[in-house]
Structure 1
Amino acid sequence: MSTEPAGDPAIRVLVVDDEPIAADAHAAYVRRMEGFALAAVAHDGQGTLHALKDAAAAGAPIQLILLDMNLPDLHGLDVSRRIRSAGYGVDIIAITAVRELAIVRGAVSAGIVQYLIKPFTFAAFAEKLANYRQFRRQLESQGQPASQSDVDSAFASLRTPGETPLPKGLSQDSLDSVAALLRSGGRPVSATEAMAELGMSRVTARRYLEFLAESGKARRASRYGTGGRPESEYHWIG
């Protein structure tokens, strides 16, 4: 459930991917993001169009689509063009393994606002969505008509790397404490060790360590020889 303040509702997101595992992963990523709400998941082009229609009819229109390019019935670019032809005011971020420049150019012409290449980490995903959210905020906050600097600033937010937002349930103070422990120890740290040092639960410590690993600030490795099952340890790389 969204924790957004009044007047700043969560952006409703449709995840589209023909691979169920990928679709589930992207949906889970959306749920971890503040300011976004998962509206639906579709696995092909026709399902995407139906989901848009159903959401609009229910009075809860979808505002952002995370769209795979390789779908079983329609190419992602065809889906984008049909969406535009139908008059839906929805933004699209392409999430795909397709790297051909012709497709990238086609994505731009089809009105796709961001392009994220698979595979990627949660940190990369979060950065794209955070930048997109800032883009929406800037456009919605401007008066009419917008000045050239207003437009330039809004579009720059799509390109400028921002601070990776924390997943729900994580605090900046606790993250700083875990990062400081990794930096200062000069040795790898496990979730059990972080729990003992910082007085947090092992599950919580592991969430912060995993976030640092996904953000590229720590490296995860397996630790053996502890008498039980292998445990992950984390090295600070900054």
Structure 2
Amino acid sequence: MINVLLVDDEPLVLEAHREYVGRIDGFRVVAEASGARAALDRLAPNIRGGGGDTIDLVLLDMTMPDGTGVDVLRYARAKATPVDVIALTSVRDPEVVRQVIMLGAVQYLVKPFTFADFRKRLAQYRDYRARLRNASGAATQSEIDAMIGALRPAPTALPKGLSPQSLQAVLAVVRARAQVTAAEAAEVAGMSRVTARRYLEHLAELGSVERVAHYGTGGRPRSEYRWRGAR
């Protein structure tokens, strides 16, 4: 079992990520932190050894009130902390990305993302750890290539006519409003209701949103789409 520390200053995001992790085999959340200092305090047993559940993987936000994810990473690396990190953040600054990679993060996933994207990155990390664990003696070049390759994200194929940019736009609307109809999503995202419904139905198939039927006084039920983190 891979022990996970969640680090984010938004309670709803922590809740969503906790739910996401709980839906993926081989992972369990053993600790949460809402700031940089709290994250370092929770990593202290990793640094000194013993004292509670050892953290294997940190899902790390980059912006917090008392510091940054880069600060947490830099301190952890300075202390030679044996922990892996996946950045989960809305920060797109190339310099921040460079620093995070330089400090050894194994993945960098930009918010907002779908559950499918999240699951894929964690599955890749789980595969990477399994390859490390199964390697016996000195690794061959092909084994090393396979270990590194396990962390490289594969492209996600969308249904014909859907674009990644519009998908992220619709996902951002659902996440911001917690629950929307296709008409509401279409108005905010700047597309037709039919197109917005296609994206919402795709997100429902991926498990990123939940379809909720509302029955009125007559006629067909109205479908609304709820972000899975809004519970």
Question: TM-score, length-normalised on structure 2?
Answer: 0.69
Instruction: Supply the AA of the counterpart residue of 1:127.
Output: K
Instruction: Supply the AA of the counterpart residue of 1:117.
Output: V
Please report how far the alpha carbon of residue 140 of structure 1 lies from its aligned counterpart in structure 2 after TM superposition.
1.3
| Paired residues, number | 180
The 3 A distance-change label for structure 1 pair 94 and 57 is same
Aligned partner of 1:11 in structure 2 is: 2
- Contact 2:7 / 2:35 at 8 angstroms: preserved in 1? yes
- Does residue 40 in structure 1 map to residue 24 in structure 2? no
Please report how far the alpha carbon of residue 212 of structure 1 lies from its aligned counterpart in structure 2 after TM superposition.
6.6
Please report how far the alpha carbon of residue 125 of structure 1 lies from its aligned counterpart in structure 2 after TM superposition.
0.5
Q: Where has structure 1 moved over 4 Å in runs of 4 or more?
A: 209-212, 216-226, 228-231
- Contact 2:114 / 2:203 at 8 angstroms: preserved in 1? no
Aligned partner of 1:172 in structure 2 is: none
Aligned partner of 1:117 in structure 2 is: 110
- Contact 2:203 / 2:209 at 8 angstroms: preserved in 1? yes
- Alpha-carbon separation, structure 2, partners of 1:210 and 1:33: 22
The 3 A distance-change label for structure 1 pair 108 and 214 is farther
Aligned partner of 2:101 in structure 1 is: 108
Aligned partner of 1:139 in structure 2 is: 132
The DSSP-based 3-state class of the residue aligned with 2:6 is strand
Give me the CA root mean square deviation: 3.2
| Structure 1 runs not aligned, ≥5 long | 1-9, 164-208
Please report how far the alpha carbon of residue 223 of structure 1 lies from its aligned counterpart in structure 2 after TM superposition.
7.0
Please report how far the alpha carbon of residue 213 of structure 1 lies from its aligned counterpart in structure 2 after TM superposition.
1.7
Please report how far the alpha carbon of residue 102 of structure 1 lies from its aligned counterpart in structure 2 after TM superposition.
1.0
1:70 is aligned, of 42, 63, 68, to 63
Aligned partner of 2:146 in structure 1 is: 153
Please report how far the alpha carbon of residue 228 of structure 1 lies from its aligned counterpart in structure 2 after TM superposition.
8.5
Aligned partner of 2:19 in structure 1 is: 28
Question: Percent identity among equivalent residues?
Answer: 46
- Contact 2:36 / 2:67 at 8 angstroms: preserved in 1? yes
Map Cα deviations across residues 159-202 of structure 1 (whole Å, 9 max, x no partner).
14399xxxxxxxxxxxxxxxxxxxxxxxxxxxxxxxxxxxxxxx
Map Cα deviations across residues 30-69 of structure 1 (whole Å, 9 max, x no partner).
1111100111110111101111124653252100000000
Map Cα deviations across residues 63-102 of structure 1 (whole Å, 9 max, x no partner).
0000000011111111101011122110000000001111
The 3 A distance-change label for structure 1 pair 97 and 233 is closer
- Alpha-carbon separation, structure 1, partners of 2:99 and 2:52: 31
| Structure 2 runs not aligned, ≥5 long | 157-199, 226-231
- Alpha-carbon separation, structure 2, partners of 1:158 and 1:226: 51
Please report how far the alpha carbon of residue 144 of structure 1 lies from its aligned counterpart in structure 2 after TM superposition.
2.1
Map Cα deviations across residues 136-173 of structure 1 (whole Å, 9 max, x no partner).
1111111221111111111111114399xxxxxxxxxx
